[in-house]
Structure 1
Amino acid sequence: MHNILVTGAASGIGAATAQLFHRRGWAVGLVDLSGDALAALADELGGAWHRALDVTDVEAIQAALVDFCGQHDGQLRLLFNGAGILHCGRFAEIPLSEHTRAIQINVLGLLQFCHAAFPYLQNTANAQVINMGSASAQYGVPTMASYSASKFAVRGLTEALELEWREHGIRVGDLMPPFVATPMVANQQYVPPVMRRLGVRLNAEDIAEGAWQQAHGPAVHRPISLQFKLMYWAGQLSPSWLNRRVMGWLNRP
């Protein structure tokens, strides 16, 4: 039986991904900071392994991997890095501590999980890492500056590890959706202009299905939704000044 460890599993995309892989026969491990919601999901999934932890806590990450992978002969077929936070608003009006926390969770937490999981992935045939990227890694998004920066970092790490870990038989890729109807998005007090213009057309289940496809395909980046696929591929071919102009138009007040 394949196994998957999902971070950010208590709600939204992480929860939907865990539910989908569980339904399709995978052994699921759940990690999140929100212990009560995590325990409720674990019960729903028939007593799935779970651990409440902060993804910025290296020792907690290492202990969780020892426990979960220890129950699967030291193997990890798939690490799904779904933990992340978002704080929308004008850059200078958001406290520096909020920007710092976004980078710590979205980048450092993901990097630390990848680093700690490497021995278990290396020990597993067809092992894979799926990182939760974003359409905001296409071009920097105003009023989402630190989040956008964090997703550029995720994109860069994904591309680097995809090349570096080939020799170990480990595939690395990311999912790149635009806005998704999750509690993280719904709880924003400030709505960026680009969100108003593009709308929130995806739900967590759409992204979970994208994760399933990614787990069975060779893509490095997987843009999700027809709308963003067109924007993504156009962006790969367009000069930077045109991408900047399009982003400026999308973010008009």
Structure 2
Amino acid sequence: MTTARQVALITGASSGIGKAAAAALAEAGYEVVGTSRASAGVTPVPGVTFVDLDVTSDDSVAAAVQEVIHRFGKIDVLVNNAGIGSSGAAEESSLDQDRRVFDINVFGVMRMTKAVLPHMRARKSGRIVNVSSIVGLIPQPYMATYSASKHAIEGYTESLDHELREHGVRAVLVEPAWTNTDFEANNLQADKPMDTYAKQRAIFTDYMAGAMKEGHPASVVADAVVAAAQDSKPKLRYAAGSRVRQVSMLRRYVPASAFDSQIRKLNHLPS
């Protein structure tokens, strides 16, 4: 079956930002396919069809993409939203844990992108929307691995976009700040905690809980995803809220020493 509507495939759509973005895309008129590792247990979202997908599995990715193309005839927009957080000092996480974060947040994006690109290039049309983070723009102490994964997505997407433009496909970024969802509750905690970092880790945990509670609602990020998906002349970066725009400007124009001091102050680190 081929639908006349634009088809959007969004990963990690069962909760949080992904769920809000899937609903917003459906409201905007897209035929939306959301994914979850166990779609049978997902609370239904009006206008969204769910399929099973594990972004860490090559076979699962290939099967999900082919299922969507078979059922709907095309994929116009891919939203790479699935992700996992991690917290703790860099020294406190094992390499196995670091690999787990990168396998979902970075290689998951790459798997999905590689799976849809032959289809999009053949149609000479497509949009890849990668959900990054404010910590893809700035350092975040006690979230080094997660921050590194989002920095990787920033570089990957910008480079990818230059490669794809001549083929009618664009790759763009959505950059949320702290968002009021349950994302933090599902973070991977350091699997090798050390007394050396315990005091500062506790301070960070309190700081992050407050930042998430006071963060933007998921709808702010969802609106940015819709804009990134449907803009006829897309930008590379879509800031999800004023805080990201402010931070981006500060990083660009404030002297490095002053910016460094501000990061330490915000994170309650000794000067």
Give the structure-1-normalised TM-score.
0.89
1:12 equivalenced with 2:11 (yes/no): no
1:252 alignment partner in structure 2 = 268
SS of 1:164's equivalent? helix
Separation in structure 2 between the aligned mates of residue 220 and residue 193 of structure 1, nearest angstrom: 33
Separation in structure 2 between the aligned mates of residue 176 and residue 62 of structure 1, nearest angstrom: 27
User: Cα distance 1:37–1:220, how it changes in 2: closer, same or farther (>3 A)?
Assistant: farther
SS of 2:172's equivalent? strand
Quote how far apart the aligned CAs of 1:34 are.
3.6
Paired residue total: 248
2:192 alignment partner in structure 1 = none
Quote how far apart the aligned CAs of 1:192 are.
4.3
| Contact 1:197–1:250 under 8 Å retained in 2 | no
Separation in structure 2 between the aligned mates of residue 148 and residue 5 of structure 1, nearest angstrom: 25
Amino acid at match of 2:99: T
User: Cα distance 1:49–1:225, how it changes in 2: closer, same or farther (>3 A)?
Assistant: closer
Separation in structure 2 between the aligned mates of residue 180 and residue 79 of structure 1, nearest angstrom: 22
Quote how far apart the aligned CAs of 1:28 are.
0.9
Q: Within 5 A, what are the aligned runs for 1:1-253?
A: 1-38=5-42, 40-41=43-44, 44-45=45-46, 48-73=48-73, 75-124=74-123, 126-187=125-186, 191-192=204-205, 195=208, 200-217=214-231, 218-253=234-269
Unaligned runs of 5+ in 2: 190-201
Deviates more, 1:29-38 or 1:146-155: 29-38
Give the structure-2-normalised TM-score.
0.84
Separation in structure 2 between the aligned mates of residue 33 and residue 143 of structure 1, nearest angstrom: 28
2:193 alignment partner in structure 1 = none
Which structure has the larger Rg? 2
Unaligned runs of 5+ in 1: none
Quote how far apart the aligned CAs of 1:64 are.
0.9
Residue deviations 1:192-248 (CA, integer Å, cap 9, x gap): 476367553212111101111112331111122212211112212334444333222
RMSD: 2.1
SS of 1:165's equivalent? helix
